[in-house]
Structure 1
């Protein structure tokens, strides 16, 4: 399974929603605290792009040499329609400063030095230290996961439904929906005939590193389900 640090890094570098929480910004609209872009630097610091007049930029500029505590809150929502769509949440806390000269005119890049992170997702909850976060890599499929899950649900629904054959003891499955995808496997959310939901996970024979490897792994998975 992916480590907690890897899962946190994946969330930070994914397209999931994010909002920056900082002192003195209680009256700001939530959309004004959402970075336009985010990227992780070589030392594990998180760079957040904001309009130059954003509340976060004003706060970081006024703080100058003082440490401005801040928390980046991330919410991961499944890109397909399933019951209970929130797949995970993460909080990355640290200290915020400006990083002038990086962003285009009219914008400012802010630098969040990571102090600690906390993750609560489909795998469970865990704390992640700054060294762990800096040393982790995002899942190689994160840039494609949304498109791939939506494609599975729309174009290969018949194959996805056949995965219920691999559940064995759960013969009462009525519906299967792809929920999450990473280099280690596919997670689906199932609904039984009584309307109850539960998750199942299908591990790949070996971790995949790109979309080509994923296609082979998915083909083998569908073939295994079809043989039952």
Structure 2
């Protein structure tokens, strides 16, 4: 997202239907992208686990033996101010790979030892993550060779997302009310497969772009229940274009039909037209 070089467009003649800001943030977090925890006076620390809880706080892992965890433990009920930055990377090697940045600010607190195991189980049920095995409890030991981690909680008081369209803040209530996109965790695999094995589909979708954008290199950028996003890497910079589906979809069958319609395929799912 280089200043002045990234531009977003809507397909000509189409009403853009897109995820809400809260949905985009939930999806970015659900994909488990790279995240860094920043606390004043310390080097940013990577956080392989950052899971939104039902109460609006984030469960985060930090190195158990590091200075950061010592500060959190020492702060007691006061907690310490921190910002979690989540980076949503494109699943393809684009010349500008960052699709969006999310900043979640608030205060960090320890998780009581008796609450760690139940919380880990709850997180693993909805978002299995091998990094959870690095959290030491009475029953879970860090995997050999991994750095033992502690589970902490970030009570969120501010949420901001920035992408090629600009920056926007939302309330924690809006974030909790939203759900991740149903295809969020599968998006990377699907787009990589689309790029490597179905270039003809990308070319057909590129025919829907505004005429001035058909001369650059067109790459799959994003996929959600509302439509497909394409990145055009052109001589004058990068351009992001959303091609909306006729209506939102919720499963693989609906997604397949919606993409065929965008391509202009006359027979959905390969069915022949019925004779009259």
Instruction: Calculate the TM-score normalised by the size of structure 2.
Output: 0.72
**In the alignment, which residue of structure 2 is the partner of 1:207?**
248
Task: Please identify the structure whose Cα radius of gyration is greater.
Answer: 2
Greater shift in the superposed pair: 167-176 or 151-160: 167-176
Q: Mark the runs of 5 or more structure 2 residues left unpaired by the alignment.
A: 1-17, 121-134, 137-147, 267-276
Count of aligned pairs: 220
**In the alignment, which residue of structure 2 is the partner of 1:219?**
260
Distance, in Å, in 2 between the alignment partners of 1:172 and 1:5 is 31
Distance, in Å, in 1 between the alignment partners of 2:218 and 2:51 is 34
**In the alignment, which residue of structure 2 is the partner of 1:187?**
229
1:84 Cα deviation (Å)? 1.8
**In the alignment, which residue of structure 1 is the partner of 2:10?**
none
Distance, in Å, in 2 between the alignment partners of 1:77 and 1:211 is 23
Q: Do the aligned partners of residues 113 and 71 (structure 1) sit closer, same or farther apart at CA in structure 2, a change above 3 Å counting?
A: same
RCO comparison, higher one (Cα < 8 Å, 6+): 2
Indicate the SS of the match to 1:200: strand
After the TM superposition, which segments of 4 or more aligned residues of structure 1 sit over 6 Å from their partners? none
Instruction: Calculate the TM-score normalised by the size of structure 1.
Output: 0.86
Distance, in Å, in 1 between the alignment partners of 2:158 and 2:248 is 28
Distance, in Å, in 1 between the alignment partners of 2:27 and 2:207 is 31
Q: How does 1:33-182 map to 2 (within 5 A)?
A: 33-101=45-113, 102=116, 104-105=135-136, 106-170=148-212, 172-182=214-224
1:218 Cα deviation (Å)? 1.8
C-alpha contact (below 8 Å) 1:161/1:175 kept by paired residues: no
Distance, in Å, in 2 between the alignment partners of 1:72 and 1:168 is 37
Q: CA RMSD in A?
A: 2.3
**In the alignment, which residue of structure 2 is the partner of 1:11?**
28
